[in-house]
């Protein structure tokens, strides 16, 4: 049962533990508010990719929730992870986790404000009983092939977070990729970790190739490890408006069984921003603010940014090409899911939700079949699927947002769809 925000015994700004004190409590936090339009037509606004079994028998959300199981016993991992999600997905998320024996605490956002406000609510909840904790913050829609390697990297990162650092996991790139952000690594630390020297947004292909050749840039995994109190204190320095709005939203929030609802009006006042933009790219500013803040103790220091190497078969599954790359392939580089067959095809991907999909003589092609839509796209153009969905939305076509199957309180119901013909246009 969640406690009501207004009844917290302490402010969520910090726990009873000082940053210098020993902290072995780990709180898994799963951010599950994404829309997943790049994997249309399987993933849609009302049933995004984190709820779908894209690369295994579990949904991506279920697979994410399993990753902290059997974590080294020196750490005390909370049995109930914190999930941040939207109203439209809360029932199916709770149901999927219950199937796996996980009783989670769900924070239901009244609107999307990106990952930084979502993490702030989770950090406030983790500190709500006056106890600090190390948050392991994971997107709900990524794929990890080697969980043991992930846990080893998380344990290294947790050791830095315990001492007050804000840590993230970086993936040494295996190819130039324009779909990922990059972390520029700085001075080497122990256990294969590095100081963070900077963040770079998704680069052009030529620049991405230079990053790979330089070997001083790692892919940004979007996984963060940090103390709840450190996040809240750092956010207060760097993003005071966001911090204040989220603090009021949490303090005025209410519990409904396993669900916690922040105060709507206050949460809507929070600026929308990502963890990277709001804090990670500005940690040097936090250091400057700490050095010049006369109200801080003389020994107060801003958190250091640390990146730990992750080599665990990570993928953000941000496109159908990434799904193809994450799957086992035949001798000709083809991968498939469902009722699919290949004849003379090379490096192609086929996904069937029911009907047989046959690929003959195709090269570098993606074919995805669902009950009401079929996608055919060259693998070099899979990043354009998001724009395609925007075009479908502009035509007010139901296929943009919803499947024929709609999940309601744990049961599937069928909604009727009036047949329609629409034309996609990219002209202005």
322 is a domain residue? no
pLDDT for position 406: 52
The tens digit of pLDDT for each residue in 55-100 reads 988 999 999 999 999 999 999 999 999 999 999 999 999 999 999 9
> Vertex 50, ends 46 and 54: CA angle to 5°?
110
Same domain, 381 and 295: no
Same domain, 292 and 395: no
Same domain, 309 and 338: no
Please check the confidence at residue 42 and state whether its pLDDT lies above 60: yes
pLDDT for position 56: 85
Same domain, 270 and 151: yes
Same domain, 205 and 272: yes
Please check the confidence at residue 110 and state whether its pLDDT lies above 90: yes
pLDDT for position 208: 95
Q: Where does the pLDDT of residue 298 fall: very low under 50, low under 70, confident under 90, or very high at 90 and above?
A: very low
Please check the confidence at residue 345 and state whether its pLDDT lies above 70: yes
Q: What would the 3-class secondary structure string for 43-106 be?
A: CECCECHHHCCCCCCCCHHHHHHHCCCCCCCCCEECCCCEEEEEHHHHHHHHHHHHHCCCCCEE
Same domain, 390 and 300: no
Q: Which of 282, 315, 348 is the last residue of a domain?
A: 315
Burial classification of residue 155, based on how many CB atoms lie within 10 Å of its CB (0-12 exposed, 13-18 middle, 19 or more buried): middle
Overall number of domains in the chain:
2
The boundaries of the domain holding residue 164 are 5-315
The tens digit of pLDDT for each residue in 13-27 reads 443 345 556 789 999
The phi-psi region of residue 410 (left if phi > 0; otherwise alpha if psi is between -120 and 50; otherwise beta) is left
Same domain, 297 and 348: no
CATH of the domain at 256: 3.90.550.10
What average pLDDT does range 152-160 have in this prediction? Answer: 97
The tens digit of pLDDT for each residue in 235-258 reads 999 999 999 999 999 999 999 999
Please check the confidence at residue 302 and state whether its pLDDT lies above 80: no
Same domain, 276 and 333: no
Average pLDDT, the chain: 87
Q: Which helix (H) or strand (E) holds 34?
A: none
Please check the confidence at residue 285 and state whether its pLDDT lies above 90: no
Does a cis peptide bond (omega within 30 degrees of 0) precede residue 41? yes
424 is a domain residue? no
Q: Supply the pTM of this predicted model.
A: 0.87
Same domain, 133 and 233: yes
Same domain, 285 and 372: no
Q: Which of 269, 286, 315 is the last residue of a domain?
A: 315
Q: Where does the pLDDT of residue 330 fall: very low under 50, low under 70, confident under 90, or very high at 90 and above?
A: very high
Same domain, 344 and 268: no
Same domain, 349 and 241: no
Please check the confidence at residue 52 and state whether its pLDDT lies above 70: yes
Q: Where does the pLDDT of residue 10 fall: very low under 50, low under 70, confident under 90, or very high at 90 and above?
A: very low
Q: Which of 265, 284, 315 is the last residue of a domain?
A: 315
What average pLDDT does range 305-311 have in this prediction? Answer: 97
Q: How far apart are CA 346 and CA 326, in angstroms?
A: 16
Please check the confidence at residue 424 and state whether its pLDDT lies above 60: no
């Amino acid at each position: 049962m969640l406690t009501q925000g207004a009844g917290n015994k302490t402010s969520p700004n910090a726990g009873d533990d000082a940053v210098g004190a020993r902290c072995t409590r780990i709180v898994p936090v799963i951010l599950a508010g994404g829309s997943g339009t790049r994997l249309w037509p399987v993933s849609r606004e009302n049933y995004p990719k984190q709820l779908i079994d894209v690369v295994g028998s579990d949904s991506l959300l279920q697979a994410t929730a399993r990753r902290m199981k059997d974590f080294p016993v020196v750490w005390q991992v909370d049995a109930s992870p914190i999930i941040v999600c939207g109203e439209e997905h809360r029932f199916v998320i709770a149901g999927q986790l219950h199937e796996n024996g996980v009783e989670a605490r769900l924070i239901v956002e009244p609107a999307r404000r990106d990952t930084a406000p979502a993490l702030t609510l989770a950090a406030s909840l983790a500190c709500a009983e006056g106890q600090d904790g190390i948050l392991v913050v994971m997107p709900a829609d990524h794929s990890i092939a080697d969980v043991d390697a992930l846990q080893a990297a998380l344990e290294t990162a947790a050791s830095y977070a315990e001492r007050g650092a804000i840590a993230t996991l970086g993936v040494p790139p295996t190819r130039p990729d324009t779909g990922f952000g990059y972390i520029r690594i700085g001075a080497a630390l122990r256990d294969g970790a590095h100081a963070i020297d900077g963040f770079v947004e998704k680069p052009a292909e030529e620049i991405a190739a230079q990053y790979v050749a330089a070997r001083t840039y790692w892919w940004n995994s979007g996984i963060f490890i940090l103390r709840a109190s450190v996040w809240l204190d750092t956010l207060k320095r760097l993003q005071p408006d966001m911090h204040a709005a989220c603090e009021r939203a949490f303090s005025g929030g209410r519990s409904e069984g396993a669900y916690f609802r922040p105060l709507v009006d206050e949460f809507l006042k929070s600026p929308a921003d990502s963890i990277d933009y709001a804090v990670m790219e500005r940690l040097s500013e936090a250091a400057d603010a700490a050095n010049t803040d006369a109200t801080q103790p003389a020994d107060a220091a801003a958190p250091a940014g640390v990146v730990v190497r992750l080599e665990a078969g990570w993928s953000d599954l941000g496109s159908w090409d990434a799904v193809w790359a994450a799957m086992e392939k035949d001798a000709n580089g083809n991968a498939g899911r469902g009722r699919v067959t290949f004849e003379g095809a090379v490096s192609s991907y086929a996904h069937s939700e029911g009907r047989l999909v046959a690929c003959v003589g195709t090269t570098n092609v993606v074919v995805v079949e669902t009950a009401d839509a079929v996608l055919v796209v060259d693998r070099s153009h899979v990043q354009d699927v998001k724009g395609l969905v925007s075009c479908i939305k502009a035509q007010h076509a139901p296929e943009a947002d919803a499947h024929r199957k709609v999940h309601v309180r744990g049961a599937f119901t069928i909604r009727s769809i009036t047949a329609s013909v629409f034309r996609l246009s990219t002209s202005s």
